[in-house]
Structure 1
Amino acid sequence: MLPVAGLFHSLACPDGHCNRAPCLFSHRKPEDLPPPVTLAIPVTEPPKPLAQPPKRQIAQTPNSNAASSSPAVREPPRKLQRVGTAQRPVAVPTTSQTTNGVPVLRINAAQSLVPIPVRQTMLKTLYDHFVILYSSVSSLSPSLAADHALKQEDEVYKKSSKLTYRNAVIQCVAAIKRRPTPNSLSHPSVGTEDDVKARAERAKSLQNMVLSTKQLEPLILSREDMEKWGYMVDIPEGPGGDEPCLEGKVTKCERCAQPFQVSHTGSDTECLYHWGKQRTTKAGGEKIRTYTCCSRPVAESEGCVHGRHVFYESAPQTLHSRHAFSTLRPPSPSVKALDIAAMDCEMVYTTGGLRVARVSVIDNKDKSVFDELIRMDDDVHIIDYITRFSGITEENHSKATLPLSSIRKSLDSIINSETILVGHALDNDLRTMRMVHHKCVDTAILFPHPAGAPYRRALKDLVREKLGRLIQTGDASTGHSSAEDAAASLDLVRWHILNNKSTSNSKPPIPSTSKT
């Protein structure tokens, strides 16, 4: 047994009734015990901490429980995570240009995977080659090279990575160099690489489609629709052609609405007029009617062009008296006529009103089968060739040898009363050709204007929207081409059939006389 060291002899026994013989504690009276030993341990206060800004409190989540909602308990911030599939940064360029015409990319550098200086250098390379490619058509659209360079660079960027971007641009430049030089804005070489490929695919699908009478029969206008849209459905009474012109008589000018004496001679500055149409534009939050020819307000301008007084007639009996209407010949076993034909005409103003000066006919395989200038009838003189629309000048029209009556006989070997005629605003063409025909497919009615009658959509707008190409891009010296317009109408019908549009003949009534 270990010996007792007596370490607790100075402490009173905590048990007041202790009977233990060998007790470690003292059983003496408290006053007889020595005082307890105390230790003096120095205590120093710690330094005060520096003042710190209060921490931002963590917002409580709506789904937190009662324990976590206590102000003493804070939920740690959650880690931000990406949701959904990873997407490529969007870097859309603008159309800003430098003083030398090179477009400038205005893009947030953080949104572009390729450094902006590299993209700008490649953009300038594309622009330089587009300038060379469009050298012959740049006067028609000065910003065309810059616009297509921007669009082409954006196409390449979206299809390539950071490593393949430069090589993709170089390959694109090589493809641009291989393109033939365009001679018009509607040329197949005009556009970016995607535009050219898409246009070629659409053209191939349209060219491979040969229209049949079975496909077009549901699109033929009913007699009721023809009457609503201003078609001539019956030949007016009388022999016709008894008053071919109004030379020396007074009538109202279609351009300036002033009375004038009809004459094919005289001053060229008799009429001040607007050759464009009226359109509604917004300026300062207000709608203003302006002219498309000069952009001047309708209420503040008398005219922008000096020219000749002209007149337009639409009454069937009046037109019949200028040149007689007739129907197409019936089918004949001895003459093979076309089942489908697209037709378009160009007109000029004469002393006998608006007369046809050129007619173009193509078959359902886009082959031109008839394209002739038409000489005016005897005693009928041309007042205005309206070259900006017709494309006809005095020089080329002087080559016309056959009058309208002879042209009609020539057409008898190509079309007959069973031929389905296709055209845009075909009622105008048939009226100037003095034809009465009942099998017509009109693209102006097939693609109605969103505002309804009497409005019609322009042929060039429909071709640009549906076919992705440009027509009627000539200036005031070249005008339109009836052959081009006839082919465009046929392609619009193909597009309509390929895209499964409705073939209902319920069309809006009462058309305008506008052809373009």
Structure 2
Amino acid sequence: MALTFYKEFQRIYKPILKINPDLARQHSLDQEKALYDKSSKKTYKLSASHILTHLKARDIATSIQDTGIDGIYKPPSAIKKEEESKGIDEADYKLLLTYLVKDDQFKRLNYPTMELLNEYNENKDNREEILKAELERAKNEEQELKNKNPGSPSYSSPNNFVANSKTYGKIFSTIKDKTKTCARCQCRFTPKSNTDVPLLTEKEKEACSYHYGKLRKAPHSSTRVYSCCDNPVGSEGCTKGPHVWKCETFDGLQDDIPFTQLPEADPNNDKLLKVVALDCEMSYTTGGLELTRITVIDWKGNTVIDELCKPHNCIIDLNTRYSGIKELNTATLDLDGVKQKMAKIMSRDTIIIGQGLENDLNALRLIHERVIDTVLLYPHPMGLPWRFGLRYLANKYLQRFIQDGTDGHDSYEDSKTCIDLVKLKIQKGPNFGIVHGI
């Protein structure tokens, strides 16, 4: 059979045998070995005949790149089509490089960085002392504020926690703290453990009363009401559910699941993509907010990864209203499995595009330095931390309505919107989308 293959490879490689006279012989041996490894005594002859049919149908090779055994070989036309389907023009790629998030912007947007990881490793033996010092510093700042403004609220007591106490929210959200602040109603509570049976009692399933809508001004009035129920600020929540929390500190996230990086670019991996857009959906667990779905698309809008993800901790609330996830029974990968799949098509050189990517990277426990964030491409005129939502940007610049359903966000739709907003930016120029007044 190897001799039969040899005759066909001699025919196919005739124009290039002067360059590499041993190629036909080597590929005939490789072809027979591949056949032998994949077949049994009963299937060997049938499989061999299929391979031979494929070899006889092949055109004469035009270059050394136009070679390969059956099962691995791809004609140049197929390779070109594949590259065109996911590639990016060199000119566009060079323009993309000018929109990468810069060093100082990573900190302002609360991205996970190597600097934070190094700081964590240096201070991990003194975490308790650092936390106490942070609390003391915050208390002193609060006291100074109260001295200047006696009517300001008190934030320093965990039992008297209020919604706008962002400083204490971040300090008290570390993994090691036993009590947490509910991300919905701002009450202090003690999260359940993965070993608790039952995980939630009937009472705990409806312990939180909250408004899921955003505040807006009522028509013909200065009163601010919630979009979910039109009730005013201070009214009892219109929705009930369990208390949930999310960790807002790098140290707390690192304590629970360590951060990693994508591998260095492998020059032999022809599947690596130069540019992708990704969007993650998260659900609430006993460990906070965790990844439960990831979608990655290439520059042309083709889906390259779309996976449900089994979280590290037990699910408290799937967050279906926003995540769109109703169940995770079909999830086959955990976070490590998702990152292994990402590593097959992405490296540290890959540009990742998204909206508010710090949240996605935190959910992925991924540190990545080549990112483009549409929050910065289309900035809010009041500056950070103010930012336009993706829904608003899609409507204003793409005349596209997204996130308007009741079944949660579509992670493909969000990723594709980010890609299209970036394409529009490089088409229109750096000043496009810069709003100087509302």
Q: Same fold (TM over 0.5)?
A: yes
CA deviation map 1:143-163 (0-9, x unaligned): xxxxxxxxxxxxxxxxxxxxx
TM-score between the two structures when normalised by the length of structure 1: 0.52
Partner of 1:308: 242
1:334 aligns with 2:280: no
Partner of 1:224: 104
User: Which residue, out of 320, 333, 350, partners 1:387?
Assistant: 320
Letter in 2 for 1:222: K
Q: Give the Cα–Cα distance (whole angstroms) in 2 for the partners of residues 320 and 490 of structure 1.
A: 30
Name the SS for the 1:212 alignment partner.
helix
Letter in 1 for 2:426: I
1:259 aligns with 2:188: yes
Q: Give the Cα–Cα distance (whole angstroms) in 2 for the partners of residues 209 and 282 of structure 1.
A: 47
Name the SS for the 1:327 alignment partner.
coil
CA deviation map 1:51-77 (0-9, x unaligned): xxxxxxxxxxxxxxxxxxxxxxxxxxx
1:218 and 1:503 in contact (8 A); partners too:
no
**Residue 400 of structure 1: CA displacement?**
0.6
**Residue 302 of structure 1: CA displacement?**
2.2
**Residue 453 of structure 1: CA displacement?**
2.1
**Residue 466 of structure 1: CA displacement?**
0.7
User: Which residue, out of 344, 348, 353, partners 2:279?
Assistant: 344
1:275 and 1:293 in contact (8 A); partners too:
yes
**C-alpha spacing 1:352/1:491, structure 2 compared with 1 (3 Å):** same
Letter in 2 for 1:262: P
1:374 aligns with 2:309: yes
Letter in 1 for 2:99: L
**C-alpha spacing 1:408/1:507, structure 2 compared with 1 (3 Å):** farther
Q: Give the Cα–Cα distance (whole angstroms) in 2 for the partners of residues 280 and 326 of structure 1.
A: 43
2:92 and 2:426 in contact (8 A); partners too:
no
Q: Give the Cα–Cα distance (whole angstroms) in 2 for the partners of residues 412 and 503 of structure 1.
A: 34
Q: How many residue pairs align between the two structures?
A: 288
Letter in 1 for 2:275: I
**Residue 296 of structure 1: CA displacement?**
1.4
CA deviation map 1:281-327 (0-9, x unaligned): 4544xx2222222221113x021101110011111000001110011
Letter in 2 for 1:273: Y
Q: Give the Cα–Cα distance (whole angstroms) in 1 for the partners of residues 93 and 236 of structure 2.
A: 49
**Residue 331 of structure 1: CA displacement?**
0.9
Partner of 1:494: 423
User: Which residue, out of 266, 276, 288, partners 1:353?
Assistant: 288
1:288 aligns with 2:223: yes
Letter in 1 for 2:306: D
Larger Rg: 1
Name the SS for the 1:479 alignment partner.
coil
Name the SS for the 1:436 alignment partner.
coil
Q: Give the Cα–Cα distance (whole angstroms) in 1 for the partners of residues 332 and 176 of structure 2.
A: 23
1:225 and 1:507 in contact (8 A); partners too:
no
**C-alpha spacing 1:503/1:434, structure 2 compared with 1 (3 Å):** farther
**C-alpha spacing 1:435/1:247, structure 2 compared with 1 (3 Å):** closer
Q: Give the Cα–Cα distance (whole angstroms) in 1 for the partners of residues 289 and 337 of structure 2.
A: 19
Name the SS for the 1:256 alignment partner.
coil
Partner of 2:256: 322
Q: Give the Cα–Cα distance (whole angstroms) in 2 for the partners of residues 440 and 231 of structure 1.
A: 10
**C-alpha spacing 1:307/1:295, structure 2 compared with 1 (3 Å):** same
**Residue 217 of structure 1: CA displacement?**
0.6
**Residue 473 of structure 1: CA displacement?**
2.4
Q: Give the Cα–Cα distance (whole angstroms) in 1 for the partners of residues 357 and 435 of structure 2.
A: 15
Partner of 2:364: 433
1:416 aligns with 2:347: yes
**Residue 451 of structure 1: CA displacement?**
3.0
**C-alpha spacing 1:246/1:319, structure 2 compared with 1 (3 Å):** closer
CA deviation map 1:364-396 (0-9, x unaligned): 11111111000112xx111111111100012xx
1:331 and 1:417 in contact (8 A); partners too:
yes
1:340 and 1:421 in contact (8 A); partners too:
yes
Name the SS for the 2:391 alignment partner.
helix
**Residue 261 of structure 1: CA displacement?**
2.4
User: Which residue, out of 384, 399, 402, partners 1:468?
Assistant: 399
Q: Give the Cα–Cα distance (whole angstroms) in 2 for the partners of residues 247 and 402 of structure 1.
A: 27
1:253 and 1:260 in contact (8 A); partners too:
yes
**Aligned-residue CA RMSD in angstroms?**
2.8
1:278 aligns with 2:215: yes
Partner of 1:215: 95
Partner of 1:58: none
1:247 and 1:351 in contact (8 A); partners too:
no
User: Which residue, out of 202, 222, 233, partners 2:113?
Assistant: 233
Name the SS for the 2:98 alignment partner.
helix
**Residue 503 of structure 1: CA displacement?**
8.5
**Residue 444 of structure 1: CA displacement?**
1.4
**Residue 266 of structure 1: CA displacement?**
1.9
**C-alpha spacing 1:324/1:248, structure 2 compared with 1 (3 Å):** closer
Name the SS for the 1:374 alignment partner.
strand
1:213 and 1:420 in contact (8 A); partners too:
no
Letter in 2 for 1:384: D
Q: Give the Cα–Cα distance (whole angstroms) in 2 for the partners of residues 296 and 318 of structure 1.
A: 35
**C-alpha spacing 1:247/1:453, structure 2 compared with 1 (3 Å):** closer
**Residue 446 of structure 1: CA displacement?**
0.8
1:374 and 1:407 in contact (8 A); partners too:
yes
Q: Give the Cα–Cα distance (whole angstroms) in 1 for the partners of residues 254 and 177 of structure 2.
A: 20
**C-alpha spacing 1:335/1:462, structure 2 compared with 1 (3 Å):** same
Gaps of 5+ in 1: 1-206, 509-516
TM-score between the two structures when normalised by the length of structure 2: 0.61
**C-alpha spacing 1:323/1:390, structure 2 compared with 1 (3 Å):** same
Q: Give the Cα–Cα distance (whole angstroms) in 2 for the partners of residues 454 and 248 of structure 1.
A: 26
Q: Between Structure 1 and Structure 2, which shows a larger proportion of helix residues?
A: 2
Q: Percent identity, aligned pairs only?
A: 35
1:445 and 1:507 in contact (8 A); partners too:
no
Partner of 1:451: 382
Q: Give the Cα–Cα distance (whole angstroms) in 1 for the partners of residues 388 and 435 of structure 2.
A: 14
Partner of 1:186: none
Equivalent residues in 2 for 1:4-43, closer than 5 Å: none
Q: Give the Cα–Cα distance (whole angstroms) in 2 for the partners of residues 431 and 246 of structure 1.
A: 14
